[in-house]
Structure 1
């Protein structure tokens, strides 16, 4: 890790090792705007990632596990990075996700009932 202006930076290999996320995935998240790199590059043109990058990758993983799309996770990260947890948009986003989950639960319940009915018809 290199210290510049009181912020620690690491290369992609170190970030991958610390986070358990592949280099390709890190590059993809960077391309999608979920993960930022330092504006300055080393003399060898290597990208540097801020010391909070492992935390950002954890938040992305949490978002994925909760069923958030990457674009939704990106919005959430913007709130998180700004410590903006008392925001109408964030509340709206979470409520929308809850509504989507409720819709999925209803659809899965109907599907389960259909399967159970089909199973009953299959019994001798």
Structure 2
């Protein structure tokens, strides 16, 4: 039996179909509080969603696609749920993401340079004396492991 206050509410399957999210994901979002203002329970404890849940789910999906974590999204939604526009919070989070991406790019460029250096001096048939005392001479030569502090310490004590 549908009460007048339940009219217009969506069942979880309907929300999943329209939002293109798995039911399991929608349940999880509800469990962690991302959908709190948009979900109710029927007398038989079924989840019933306000139609505005679709916009909320779209916001969550878009935010995740931009690299925001669920915790960050939850904080932004909390500001919104208090009746404030969270654009400043969103901007701050996105600026932090840009900084993190910049740092990751720099680290990856350094790694690429190091790998290219290793490959440029690669020996398919290293000298026998190196092969006998190393796992991979190409990694454990001056252009390889000598850069790693723990390898130098071991070499210094004769291990």
TM-score range, shorter chain: 0.7 to 0.9
Q: Which runs of 5+ in 2 are unaligned?
A: 125-159
Partner of 2:56: 56
Cα contact 1:3–1:9 (8 A) shared by 2 = no
Residue 118 and residue 70 in structure 1: after superposition, are their counterparts in 2 closer, same or farther (change >3 A)? same
Partner of 2:134: none
Shift of 1:24: 0.9
Counterpart of 1:48 in 2: which secondary structure? strand
Partner of 2:25: 25
Q: Which runs of 5+ in 1 are unaligned?
A: none
Equivalent residue runs for 1:2-81 within 5 Å: 4=5, 8-36=8-36, 37-39=38-40, 41-79=41-79
The structure with the larger Rg is 2
Cα contact 1:8–1:51 (8 A) shared by 2 = yes
Residues in 1 aligned to 2:70 and 2:4: alpha-carbon distance in whole angstroms: 30
Shift of 1:68: 1.3
Shift of 1:80: 5.0
Count of residue pairs brought into register by the alignment = 120
Cα contact 1:79–1:90 (8 A) shared by 2 = no
Residues in 2 aligned to 1:110 and 1:64: alpha-carbon distance in whole angstroms: 28
Partner of 1:84: 85
Please, what is the CA RMSD of the aligned residues?
2.8
Residues in 2 aligned to 1:101 and 1:45: alpha-carbon distance in whole angstroms: 43
Residue 90 and residue 21 in structure 1: after superposition, are their counterparts in 2 closer, same or farther (change >3 A)? closer
TM-score, reference length from structure 1: 0.76
Residues in 1 aligned to 2:102 and 2:44: alpha-carbon distance in whole angstroms: 51
TM-score, reference length from structure 2: 0.62
Relative contact order: is structure 1 or structure 2 higher (C-alpha 8 Å, sep ≥ 6)?
1
Partner of 1:122: 122
More displaced 10-residue stretch of structure 1: 50-59 or 77-86:
77-86
Shift of 1:10: 0.6
